[in-house]
Amino acid sequence: MSKQLTEIRILLNNRSNQSDDLFSAASLAKILEVTLKGVYLEEEDLLCAAELTISSDISRWSAQEKAISSYSVQQTLRAHAKHQKRELKRIAEQEKVEYGFDVVRGERNSWIIDEIKRNKLLFVTHQNINRNSCNNHNYSFLNKSVTTFKTKDPVKVIFNGSNASIRALKIAIQITRFSHRSLTVLLDTDTFENEISLREQLNDHLVKHSDKYKDINVNAELINTKKQTASLSERLYMLIYPVEINEKNQFKQLNILLQSLQSPLILVR
């Protein structure tokens, strides 16, 4: 995959501390010998909301309401972008990988879906959103909190037998190695016959590449993404999710996942 891949794009959000996600993306970029490209998304719905006369901000330092304007929101977004660019530069230089940085504008989920149609891999940082605050002094513009991962939380990857899921599995192995965690392979099926087939495919892959898996604890669990998409990002360190752009309802399921995202996500096409 590294022969076809030239860069890893990581979508950054407004949390002040995304070092863990950036280190993971940088480590992966280093292993695959590709460029790390940070992308900061100015969300259009925030800019639109700022135009409403009912929009206001209450600072954590004062109970007094302050009107929000489009200009103040844009100033805050620029401050966040500068902060994320500095963090990206610091970590990329520390990990000795080439890097770049872009600022784009759009609706978050739509942008992610369009982006994975054009690129083979996209790293999405996790976020818990509460759109009640617009404080640009402490980078709590969206009042997003950092999820604390427990040491036991595994790397999880969706496996459905597709070429994308095989590539996702290989990426998951790399992440499992440098994060020193276990790997849970989620067999995506809704029939017993398909479960048997997926287990055989997974076993054949593990045997064929046993040298890469010898030091990794690999577990397999069943999941039906058609019904359980919203719960995919619960209790895990990172989720690697294969995307088949020609599959029916693929992007509907992905949109549901993005709405409930509580952990870093890597989309692999």
Which residues does 10 contact at the CB level (< 8 Å), separation at least 6?
Answer: 21, 22, 25, 36, 37, 38, 39, 122, 123, 124, 125
Looking at the DSSP bridge assignments, the partners of residue 221 are 186
**Residue whose C-alpha is closest to residue 30's, from 112, 92, 101:** 92
Q: Hey, where are the domains in the chain?
A: 7-124, 155-268
**Residue whose C-alpha is closest to residue 101's, from 111, 110, 90:** 90
Using the predicted structure, report yes or no on whether residue 129 has a pLDDT greater than 60: no
User: What CA–CA distance (Å, rounded) separates 12 from 251?
Assistant: 21
Q: Look-up: residue for tokens 């954590």?
A: 60
pLDDT tens, position by position, 15-73: 667 888 999 999 999 999 999 999 999 877 666 665 555 444 545 445 555 556 677 77
Using the predicted structure, report yes or no on whether residue 84 has a pLDDT greater than 60: yes
pLDDT tens, position by position, 187-219: 999 888 899 999 999 999 888 877 777 778 889
Q: What are phi and psi of 64, to 5 degrees?
A: -80, 130
Amino acid in position 69: S
Domains 7-124 and 155-268 share a fold: yes
Overall average pLDDT of the 92-103 stretch? 96
Mutual orientation of helices 70-95 and 19-32 as an angle, nearest 10°?
50
Q: What are phi and psi of 7, to 5 degrees?
A: -155, 155
Fold of the domain spanning 7-124? Rossmann fold (3.40.50)
Residues constituting the chain: 269
Q: What would be the CATH architecture of the domain defined by 155-268?
A: 3-Layer(aba) Sandwich (3.40)
* C-alpha dihedral sign at 120, 209, 239, 87: negative
Q: Look-up: residue for tokens 């998409």?
A: 229
